[in-house]
Amino acid sequence: MPAVFTFLFLMKPYYITTAIDYTNAAPHIGHAYEKVLADVMARFQRLTGREVYFLTGVDQHGQKVQKSAEKMGISPQEFVDGVTEKFTALWSRLGVDYDGWAATTDEKHKRVVQAALQKLKDCGQLYTAKTKGFYSERAEQFLTDKERLEDGTFGEEWGTVTEIEEENWYFKLGEHVEWLRAFIQSHPDFITPAFRTADVLNALENSGGQDLCISRPVERLSWGIPLPFDERFVNYVWFDALVNYISFAGYLSEEAGNADMPVFARLWPADAHVIGKDILIPAHAIYWPIMLHALGFSDEEMPKLIVHGWWNIRGKKMSKSLGNVVDPQNVSDIFTPEGLRFYLMRDMATGYDADLSEERMEIAYNKELAGGLGNLLNRSLSMAQKYRSGVLAVSAYDDEIHQALRQTVADTVPRYLEKMQTWQIHQGIEEVWKIVFQANQFVDLTAPFKLAKDSEQAARLDSVLYHLAETLLHVSVLLTPIIPQACAKMREQIGWVMPEGFTFADLHWGLLKDGHQLNQPVPLFPRLELPVAE
Ligand code: MSP
């Protein structure tokens, strides 16, 4: 790699984005999971010393929004503004700390979508055609014979399906399918987890090279971005939404006349598009790379997709019709925002589905956070206050039990880093919990309350208290991406301020110096008295 590219790469921020959430309804737990997952990775990357740009936002156009607004007798903008506030309030509550906010009704975004459409038209990628076909209002798309059931009808999931004939603008998607197939085969890191790649290749095999209709006539849908070259149409909502990943990163900002945007060449390509499995095919694995390719992006400029699974309820999908949609605000009222963050990260293996369980939430909070981590902090600091007025002494005492705890801490850090880098957040947490577990055992084994009664054991007691404080400090750094506020409180109680620019590489045994003053313990996770879950 030429030196200048190496330099640019080293300087490149970690650019992470998520799906932008539809603003046709209030946020639910699945939305919360995805944003927390991305936030955890953003915080983790920062602690590896990398600059991070974290973009998330809301998808505000489309027919569902137009219809909901009509029903309520308000303008679509008023409607989406109301729903958007619910999302932003939730992110602030859950500590989802993004750098950029992608709201698709933002004029800057609209101008970039229009510039991108114009660019595609200028290079001959768009054309008009009249088609007659079956249109699903719910899916906002034309259906093909593949969607028909055996009896020739379309399934209930498509809602009302009507036959219509209309003119529209099409994007020559089919022209690029061969390129995409070759790209996916030669870039196994395009989709994580890799097992989803086979589904994409199958979909390409089955759907052949159909072009993509990228317009909707204004009579049917006015709530969208007007095509810059044909005022009879607005842009198809998925095209508009996908462009957010580049528009808010500064793509075509000059052409669009957008000021104060990030420098696109610094951010792009995205290191992670965090999306759910339901929107991998066709939107993110087919339309999106082909749109980029047609706009002139090279293979090296394709983003990486991180595809997570779904939260279900007793094996069933959450849906309004089943009445089992879980409101993350309610859950965070009960289990605290960081209790919810911890549960969501702890109980889902990235890429796979998981069942949302109140019982498991209670265990995660009361047993693991309160009983495991909170209790360790509390008893360690209480003993240090009681026996040494909170002053630590570096002691010459050592034995196998002390060595074993130091060894576990030292072994855990690289294992944790590897798990987190590869999105195995739940395993990263498991690694840290090995420390928590062993440190609690360490208290039982070393019995500081007995040592305190024997003045000859003073050096040993000092060593025990020091080991506990130092271990807790390590834990407070490692868990920062997952439960940032609780970890900051832990460090406050330990009396240690994380220096500016501190990274995981700076984590080493001996951060607390001889004579270090600890603060008074304050319960981190007060136990929750909850009715036993059914
Ligand atoms: N607006 C589109 C995305 C456009 S991205 C250019 C959309 N919005 S959505 O609100 O329906 O979904 C947003 C994200 O939430 C998606 O990644 C989706 O997979 C995720 N989840 C929605 N329900 C979910 C669960 N039950 N569980 C986990 N995540 C799921 O699709």
Domain residues of the chain, as ranges? 358-506
- Residue nearest atom 29 of ligand 1, based on CA coordinates: 30
Nearest to 197 by CA among 288, 286, 309: 286
pLDDT at 531: 66
What separation in Å is there between the alpha carbon of 31 and the centre of ligand 1? 6
pLDDT at 286: 97
d(CA 420, CA 529): 32
Residue of 16, 22, 306, 355 to mutate, ligand 1, most atoms within 8 A of C-beta: 22
Distances (CA, A) of 527 to 70, 201, 380: 46, 49, 18
User: Which atom of ligand 1 is the closest one to the Cα of 288?
Assistant: 6
What separation in Å is there between the alpha carbon of 30 and the centre of ligand 1? 7
pLDDT at 124: 98
pLDDT at 8: 47
Question: In what helix (H) or strand (E) does residue 114 lie, and over which residues does it extend?
Answer: helix 107-122
pLDDT at 532: 52
What separation in Å is there between the alpha carbon of 97 and the centre of ligand 1? 19
Contact 470, 510 (CB under 8 A): yes
State how beta strands 52-59 and 14-18 pair: parallel
- Residue nearest atom 19 of ligand 1, based on CA coordinates: 276
- Residue nearest atom 30 of ligand 1, based on CA coordinates: 30
What separation in Å is there between the alpha carbon of 483 and the centre of ligand 1? 23
Count the neighbouring beta carbons within 10 Å of the beta carbon of residue 223: 24
pLDDT at 3: 54
pLDDT at 462: 98
- Residue nearest atom 15 of ligand 1, based on CA coordinates: 31
Pocket of ligand 1 (CB under 6 A): 19-22, 30-31, 33-34, 59, 241-242, 244, 275-276, 278-279, 310-311, 318
d(CA 483, CA 365): 12
What separation in Å is there between the alpha carbon of 402 and the centre of ligand 1? 47
DSSP per-residue string spanning 303-333: --EEEE--EEBTTB---TTTT-PPPHHHHHH
Give every residue of the chain whose pLDDT is below 70, as ranges.
1-10, 208, 531-534
pLDDT at 9: 53
Residue 389 CB partners (closer than 8 Å, separation 6+): none
pLDDT at 534: 43
User: Which atom of ligand 1 is the closest one to the Cα of 309?
Assistant: 28
What separation in Å is there between the alpha carbon of 276 and the centre of ligand 1? 6
What separation in Å is there between the alpha carbon of 301 and the centre of ligand 1? 24
Count the neighbouring beta carbons within 10 Å of the beta carbon of residue 158: 17
Protein fold of 358-506: Isoleucyl-tRNA Synthetase; Domain 1 (1.10.730)
pLDDT at 206: 87
At 284 the three-state DSSP class reads helix
What separation in Å is there between the alpha carbon of 68 and the centre of ligand 1? 19
